[in-house]
Amino acid sequence: MSPDVALPGKAVDGDWRRVHPASPFVRGWVALAAVLYFFGRDAFERVLQGRDIVDPLNGRVLWLLAGGGIVLMLAVGGFILSWYFTRYQVAEGYVRVNTGFLFKQQRQARLDRVQAIDIVQPLLARIFGLAELKFEVADAGESAVRLAYLPLAQAKQLRAAILARAAGVVTGPETVEEIPEAPEQHVLSVPPGRLIGALLFSEQTVGIILAAAASITVSVLTENSTIFLALIPAIVGIAATYWSSFNKGYNFTAAISPDGIRLRYGLLDTQAQTVPPGRIQALKITQPPLWRLFGWYRMHVNVAGYGGTPGNENAARTTLLPVGMKADVMMMLSLVLPDPGVDDPQRVFTAGLEGLSPLSGSADGFVTTPRRARLLAPLGWRRNGYLATRTALLLRSGRWWRALVLVPHQRTQSMALQQGPLARWFGVTDLVLHTTVGPVAPRLYQAGVREAVELFDEQAARAREARKRQTSEQWLAELALQRGPATPPPVPTLEEHPESTPTTANQEDRHHG
């Protein structure tokens, strides 16, 4: 679905609204500052030197001030016209945004294709109490709709209205103001101290220490101290990276509500995300070696529309948990996959996060790399493996850099078997699962050929059946009939699920001796 294609249906004029009048100035304050500086620098220099701002004998100053005034008026006029011709509407199952006074454009998106909704507040917008509302639509490739800027309360209200209509809770002619925001229940938060510790003990810090040691060694051996001058740009870049990571991860909190998982984070620029349930395509839990000393993990997700554009902002938006303890990981897993599809989810996920299959076979339930191929991965062959539950496929890998990938069956879009010459010699192959673009690339490493082919066929069948059982895109319609939209769902836990049964196929036949 292309968000720029007009669809039939005439909107009611009264439903169209405008963004806040200060929006163009919040967006374009940098341009205004640049105009003021360029045309006013002479006057500014005269002020610093203690002279008169305007010298009647200096025609250059008068021309610059006049030109600056004209350019400034044109810029302000353009901002005002931009605001006047920017309107939005939520009606007929779509959200529409009209922009432009010379070159008009209408962007629209179906509400039932909403993948996630964000409320973003840059520092200047926070000062004025404004917020940008943007939400992701499946297959849009970028933010399908961006409304900048609205008063914060109005942005929250509009988000609640869009989510309610997208979820199927509200289908009548109610106005935006009549749709209440869904309540939420706080789940977890990341203390600032833990975030700082995670940055200090990250893989990036290890690389910096090794690079610094190498630079000092080279400087001492060559007796050349100028090498440190060449490192200044790298030091500035590294400091900016650390600051950006801290700024994006500060005050990270997660909550659960009827409309999805709500994430909030940010120090100067704050962001509030709402990811509807069931829209996460794949999830990855990682643990660097140094984090094992503290029991820390991080979690990333693939969500349709999030992974199409690279950048630090996008990386923050695909982070489900920047750093957390095992209990935090289990809590977030319970939100993403309320029904894990096994009787003992604690044991299964612990085996995926920390387990190492015994030499005698797959006693922990994971089918691992055959013993004959241990030379290809002498450290990780007992870690690399998979386990299929009734609702998801679990892929674990890495002895030192531990990783666990979870893909709900209905989110498996396609699969591929890949085998190089060495893998063919040892009788193993990799199975790659394709989901939406994002930081998670599901891959089963070095599985036995027979097991990989069986998993290929079984996973295709599981994905097909799961898509048949998948309910409507309006995920709250049935729930609203049962208890109403104002009641938040209970926070699930990864305890025993008597109704769930493991579906690991032919586990007894797949022990590798």
At position 282, the amino acid (one-letter code) is: A
Q: How many whole angstroms separate alpha carbon 245 and alpha carbon 323?
A: 12
Report the pLDDT averaged over residues 12-29. Answer: 73
CA distances, 55 to each of 41, 188, 464 (Å): 14, 63, 79
Calculated CA dihedral for residues 310, 313, 318, 319, nearest 10 degrees: 130
pLDDT of residue 287: 96
Residue-wise burial string across 407-440, b where 16 or more C-beta atoms lie within 10 A, e elsewhere: bbbbbbeebeeebeeebeebebbbbebebbbbbb
Q: How confident is the model at residue 13 (pLDDT cuts 50, 70, 90)?
A: very low
- 33's CB contacts (< 8 A; 6+ apart) are none
Could you tell me the pTM of the whole model? Answer: 0.79
Report the pLDDT averaged over residues 115-126. Answer: 85
Q: How many whole angstroms separate alpha carbon 497 and alpha carbon 339?
A: 8
Helix then strand then coil, % of the chain, to nearest 5 = 40, 25, 35
pLDDT of residue 17: 84
Q: Which helix (H) or strand (E) holds 109?
A: strand 105-110
Question: Within 10 Å of residue 444's Cβ, how many Cβ atoms?
Answer: 28
Segment 410-417 long-range contacts (CB within 8 Å, at least 24 positions apart): 410/463, 410/466, 410/467, 410/469, 410/470, 411/280, 411/281, 411/282, 411/435, 411/463, 412/459, 412/460, 412/462, 412/463, 415/456, 415/459, 415/460, 417/452, 417/453, 417/456
Q: How confident is the model at residue 6 (pLDDT cuts 50, 70, 90)?
A: very low
Name which of 357, 395, 398 is nearest 379 in CA terms. Answer: 398
> How many residues are there in the chain?
513
Segment 139-144 long-range contacts (CB within 8 Å, at least 24 positions apart): 139/1, 139/113, 139/304, 139/305, 140/1, 140/3, 140/109, 140/305, 140/308, 141/305, 141/308, 141/309, 142/305, 142/308, 142/309, 143/305, 144/3, 144/107, 144/109, 144/305
Q: How confident is the model at residue 290 (pLDDT cuts 50, 70, 90)?
A: very high
SS3 65: helix
Q: How confident is the model at residue 357 (pLDDT cuts 50, 70, 90)?
A: confident
pLDDT of residue 479: 46
Q: How many whole angstroms separate alpha carbon 234 and alpha carbon 253?
A: 32
pLDDT of residue 199: 93
The predicted-structure confidence for 160-176, as pLDDT tens digits, reads as follows 877 777 666 665 655 66
pLDDT of residue 495: 52
Q: How many whole angstroms separate alpha carbon 143 and alpha carbon 98?
A: 15
Q: How many whole angstroms separate alpha carbon 474 and alpha carbon 472?
A: 5
The predicted-structure confidence for 43-77, as pLDDT tens digits, reads as follows 666 666 666 655 554 556 666 667 767 777 777 77
